[in-house]
């Protein structure tokens, strides 16, 4: 599958399916989180960037109250929904992402009637690269424009998050939608998840002779179930016992006191968040002073913290990280929610082939599924592309 979305082709496929041209085509990217994992719902800091893999939606408004939705993935069937009966029960499978956004926008009073929608995404799903947020942000950007809603990008972030939380049922934070909506070419987004204030931080890897490789382990995860919500619950417990609104309010100097108040497991969860927040701040400072070549140790320390304290890594992610580091990577870590998905490695461009081959070989030797390995660089955020 080509990584780049071809707007003309998406419009053509829409026309082939629905027999008419779309009103427009909008795209929103997936993301890699450079550092700052599980800090978002703790009102802390994150530093993601958008990648050049995106979800594109072609949409045409209809005169009635019917939505017809079709995706280039999976079963080639068109889902038809009467929007007057739109409820959690009528939003099934992949349609929960676009319809969830429509549902939230309508809750906010945005007038959205019937429409035909065709989705084509090049963000691999279940890979920890925010395939779901990419769909939500493309749809939110499209209807914001089509319905003249004039919502700000920060408001659209919250629309996407609400769709994810209330319709899809995943208790996620604002990292993914913020990356998809706020990113620009050549920059990472430094975001304070408490205030939603953000700053674009230059991230010119090529000028430093570097690149970031994504290793999609093909170990699939879902955040609506299991470990993700358990981690969130531990963090909320930690904040409650410590008597603060969110773990954002605990600093490294508070950790000895926290260790006396919390059970050992909760303490380790808290320690990850507290140290990870500091690593995000340090990464931003080091990037400004020394450029991307100087942040490797922070990335690797982040992985160790997720592996040992937050316990969200898995053998495939650890192998990808360790093998990259043993073959010349400056730093490496898992990225995204964890329990599978992708790792990233910051490497000198000159060792790309060596690192790729070593990881492929290590996975083969361990009997793991063949990983998908590809380079990414900071790409633009959500926008109309046709």
- The interaxial angle of helices 315-326 and 352-366, nearest 10 deg, is 140
Site string for ligand GLA, 211-230 (x = CB under 6 A): ------------x-------
> With contact defined as beta carbons under 8 Å apart, do 20 and 7 qualify?
no
The sheet with strand 331-335 has its strands ordered as 331-335, 342-348, 210-216, 372-376
- Interface region with ligand GLA, contact rule CB under 6 A, candidates 31-39, 86-94, 302-310, 377-385: 31-39
Q: In angstroms, what is the minimal distance from the CB of 147 to ligand GLA?
A: 26
Six-digit token string for 286: 């080091």
Terminal-residue alpha carbon distance, the chain: 21
Q: Which residues contact 333 (CB under 8 A, 6 or more apart)?
A: 35, 37, 299, 300, 302, 303, 306, 321, 343, 344
* Number of residues near ligand GLA (by CB under 6 A): 12
On the 0-12 / 13-18 / 19+ scale of CB atoms within 10 A, 226 is exposed
> With contact defined as beta carbons under 8 Å apart, do 128 and 337 qualify?
yes
* Residue 172 binding ligand GLA, by CB under 6 A: yes
* Residue 336 binding ligand GLA, by CB under 6 A: yes
Q: In angstroms, what is the minimal distance from the CB of 193 to ligand GLA?
A: 9
- In the block, residue with structure tokens 């008419």: 20
- Interface region with ligand GLA, contact rule CB under 6 A, candidates 34-42, 83-91, 181-189, 287-295: 34-42
- Interface region with ligand GLA, contact rule CB under 6 A, candidates 60-68, 86-94, 168-176, 357-365: 168-176
Contacting ligand GLA (CB under 6 A), which of 176, 216, 309, 316?
176
Q: Which residues contact 372 (CB under 8 A, 6 or more apart)?
A: 124, 127, 214, 215, 216, 218
Give the nearer residue to ligand GLA in terms of CB position, either 142 or 179.
179
Give the nearer residue to ligand GLA in terms of CB position, either 35 or 58.
35
* Residue 175 binding ligand GLA, by CB under 6 A: yes
Catalytic residues: 176
Helix spans in 52-210 (H): 96-107, 131-146, 153-162, 175-182
Q: In angstroms, what is the minimal distance from the CB of 9 to ligand GLA?
A: 29
* Residue 337 binding ligand GLA, by CB under 6 A: yes
Rounded CA-CA distance 271/274 in Å is: 5
Q: In angstroms, what is the minimal distance from the CB of 384 to ligand GLA?
A: 25
Q: In angstroms, what is the minimal distance from the CB of 29 to ligand GLA?
A: 14
Contacting ligand GLA (CB under 6 A), which of 100, 124, 160, 173?
173
Contacting ligand GLA (CB under 6 A), which of 40, 43, 116, 309?
40
Q: In angstroms, what is the minimal distance from the CB of 298 to ligand GLA?
A: 15
- Interface region with ligand GLA, contact rule CB under 6 A, candidates 76-84, 173-181, 195-203, 204-212: 173-181
Rounded CA-CA distance 186/316 in Å is: 29
Kindly report the length of the chain: 386
Contacting ligand GLA (CB under 6 A), which of 37, 43, 136, 309?
37
- Interface region with ligand GLA, contact rule CB under 6 A, candidates 21-29, 95-103, 170-178, 355-363: 170-178
Site string for ligand GLA, 85-124 (x = CB under 6 A): ----------------------------------------
Q: Which residues contact 305 (CB under 8 A, 6 or more apart)?
A: 271, 272, 275, 276, 279
Contacting ligand GLA (CB under 6 A), which of 5, 14, 30, 38?
38
User: Considering only residues 223-282, where is the footprint of ligand GLA by CB under 6 A?
Assistant: 223
**R_g over Cα of the chain:** 21
> With contact defined as beta carbons under 8 Å apart, do 178 and 157 qualify?
yes
> With contact defined as beta carbons under 8 Å apart, do 48 and 175 qualify?
yes
Six-digit token string for 64: 């009635």
Give the nearer residue to ligand GLA in terms of CB position, either 33 or 122.
33
Interface with ligand GLA (CB under 6 A):
33, 37-38, 40-41, 172-173, 175-176, 223, 336-337
């Amino acid at each position: 599958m080509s990584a780049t979305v071809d707007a003309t082709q998406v419009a053509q496929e829409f026309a082939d399916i629905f027999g008419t041209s779309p009103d427009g085509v909008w795209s929103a990217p997936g993301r890699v989180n450079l550092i700052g994992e599980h800090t978002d719902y703790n009102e802390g800091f994150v530093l993601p960037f958008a990648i050049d893999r995106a979800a594109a939606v072609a949409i045409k408004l209809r005169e009635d109250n019917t939505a017809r939705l079709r995706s280039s993935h999976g079963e080639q069937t068109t889902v038809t929904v009467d929007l007057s009966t739109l409820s959690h029960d009528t939003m099934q499978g992949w349609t929960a992402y676009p319809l969830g956004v429509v549902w939230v926008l309508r809750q906010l009073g945005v007038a959205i009637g019937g429409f035909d929608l065709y989705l084509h995404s090049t963000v691999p799903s279940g890979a920890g690269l925010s395939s779901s947020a990419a769909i939500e942000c493309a749809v939110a950007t499209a209807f914001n424009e089509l319905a003249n809603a004039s919502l700000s990008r920060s408001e659209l972030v919250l629309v996407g998050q609400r769709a994810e939380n209330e319709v899809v049922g995943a208790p996620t934070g604002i990292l993914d939608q913020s990356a998809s909506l706020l990113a620009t070419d050549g920059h990472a987004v430094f975001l304070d998840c408490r205030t939603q204030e953000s700053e674009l931080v230059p991230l010119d890897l090529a000028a430093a002779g570097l690149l970031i490789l994504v290793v999609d382990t093909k170990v699939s995860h879902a955040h609506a179930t299991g470990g993700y919500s358990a981690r969130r619950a531990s963090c909320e417990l930690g904040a409650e016992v410590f008597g603060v609104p969110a773990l954002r309010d605990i600093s490294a100097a508070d950790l000895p006191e926290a260790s006396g108040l919390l059970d050992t497991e909760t303490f380790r969860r808290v320690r990850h968040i507290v140290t990870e927040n500091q690593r995000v701040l340090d990464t931003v400072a080091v990037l400004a002073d020394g450029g991307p070549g100087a942040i490797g140790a922070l990335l690797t320390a982040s992985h160790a913290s997720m592996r040992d304290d937050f316990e969200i890594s898995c053998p495939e992610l650890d192998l990808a990280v360790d093998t990259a580091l043993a073959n010349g990577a400056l730093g490496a870590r898992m990225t995204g929610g964890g329990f599978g998905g992708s790792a990233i490695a910051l490497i000198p461009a000159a060792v790309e082939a060596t690192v790729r081959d070593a990881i492929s070989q290590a996975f083969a030797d361990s009997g793991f599924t063949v990983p998908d390995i590809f380079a990414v660089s900071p790409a633009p955020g959500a926008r109309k592309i046709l």
